[in-house]
Amino acid sequence: MARKLRIQYPGAIYHVMNRGDRREAIFEDDEDRQRLLQTLTEACQKTGWQVHAYCLMRNHFHLVIETPQPNLVAGMKWLLGTYTSRYNRRHKEFGHLFSGRYKALIVDGSGNGYLKTVCDYVHLNPARAKVLKAEEPLSAFVWSSYPQYLAAPARRPNWLRVDRLLGEWGIPKDSEAGREVFAERMERRRGEDLVGEFKRVERGWCLGGEEFRQELLEQVDTRSGPSHFGEAVQEAEGVQAERLVVTGLKRMGWSEADLKARRKGEPRKVELAAELRSQTTMPLAWIAERLNMGSRGHLAWLLQQRGASGHSGPTDQCLLRI
C-alpha cells in the first residue's frame, strides 16, 4: 500500500490521528488513557514536542503537536511502540494495536486561523461523536485538553501549550477572564454547522494557505520511491512537470497560445513530451492534454516514432508504460 510522505522541519505543526487495528479499542478503561498520557509526557521529554490539543476516544486519538526539532517520525515510532507494549503487557495481549500508519496533517501555524480550526476540530470531537449529551458542557469530557485549557496553568502538564490557540481566538491573556471567554465561544461554536470548515481537516495532506502549500511542495522529494507516494508527492510531481513545461516554452520562444495552435505532432512538442516523460512520473494522458497533443495513444505512437528515428534514451525504453 502506498504511504504518505512525512514532511519534517523545525517548528512544524501536525494534526496526528491513529485508530485501533480493525477499529477496535485502544483504551479499555481510564487506566489505559492515563497510561497513554504518561507515555505522551515521556515522548515530549525526549523530543521537545509541544502539544496544542489532544483527545482520547475509545478506538482512536487525536494530537495537535508542534515539533521544535524535525523529529515527528522518530517520536511517533517511540510513542506508538511504547504504548502498544505497555497495553499488551497489561492486558496480556500481543501483536499490533494500531491500524497501519498514523495520519499526519501538516498545519500552517502562521496565525491565520488554521491552528484554531484543527484544535477546535479536536476539542469538539466528543460532542460531534455524541459521546457528550447535548446538555453536557464540553469540559465534561475529561480525556481531552479542553478542560486543561479552562484550568489554571499550575494544573496543566508542562508540555501543553495554550497561548497560540488562545491568541488565534483573540484572547490576549491566559487569565481566568480569558478562559471564561474561551469556554463561552467554544460552547457557541459547538452549535455551528462546521462540516464545510472541518472537511479540510479530514481530507488532504496539509491545512493552510496556498503560499504555505507551495513551500511544502518544494520540500517533497519526488524520488523517494513507491513506498512514499501519497497526495503530497503526486502534487509535487505536478508542480515539477508544470515548471518543466514553462521552462520548455520559454526555451522555444513559445507562448501558451502557440502551444495550442501548433499541430499535435510538432517535433518540438514531441521533444518536450519526451523530456516530461523522462524527468517526471506524470502519465501520458496528462502530458498529451497539457501539450495539446491529442490522445494518450497518439502521444505514445509519436514517442515510439521518435525512438525509432534514432532518439533513443531512457524515455523510449519505458514509453509504453501508460
Give the CA dihedral 182, 199, 63, 28, nearest 10 degrees: 100
The three grid cell numbers given for residue 174, joined into one nine-digit string? 491566559
- DSSP bridge pairs for 103: 17
Contact 118, 14 (CB under 8 A): no
CA neighbor of 321 nearest in space, from 291, 272, 271, 287: 287
Distances (CA, A) of 241 to 218, 272, 274: 13, 11, 12
User: Residue 20: helix, strand or coil by DSSP?
Assistant: strand
Determine the pLDDT at residue 221.
57
Angle between helical axes of 176-190 and 114-123 (0-180°, round to 10): 70
Q: Give the whole-angstrom CA distance, residue 37 versus residue 214.
A: 35
Q: Which of 72, 67, 40 is nearest to 56 (CA)?
A: 40
Give the pLDDT of residue 317: 38
The pLDDT, as a whole number, for residue 244 is 87
What burial class does residue 61 get, using C-beta atoms within 10 Å of its C-beta: 0-12 exposed, 13-18 middle, 19+ buried?
A: buried
| Cβ-count burial 280-319 (b if 16+ within 10 Å, e if not) | bbbebebbbebbebeebeebbebbeebbeeeeeeebbeeb
Residues paired with 13 in a beta bridge:
66, 107
**How many CB atoms lie under 10 A from the CB of residue 146?**
27
Closest CA to 276 of 319, 223, 224, 231: 319
Separation of alpha carbons 12 and 212, rounded Å: 12
pLDDT of 319 reads 35
What pLDDT is attached to residue 280?
Answer: 78
Q: Which H or E run contains 121?
A: helix 114-123
User: Is 130 within 8 Å of 152 (Cβ atoms)?
Assistant: no
pLDDT at residue number 314: 41
Which positions of the chain have pLDDT values less than 50?
Answer: 1-2, 224-229, 312-322
C-alpha 125/C-alpha 53 separation (Å) is 11
* Residue 73: other Cβ atoms inside 10 A: 13
How big is the chain by its Cα radius of gyration, in Å? 25
pLDDT score for 2 = 43
Output the pLDDT for position 113: 95
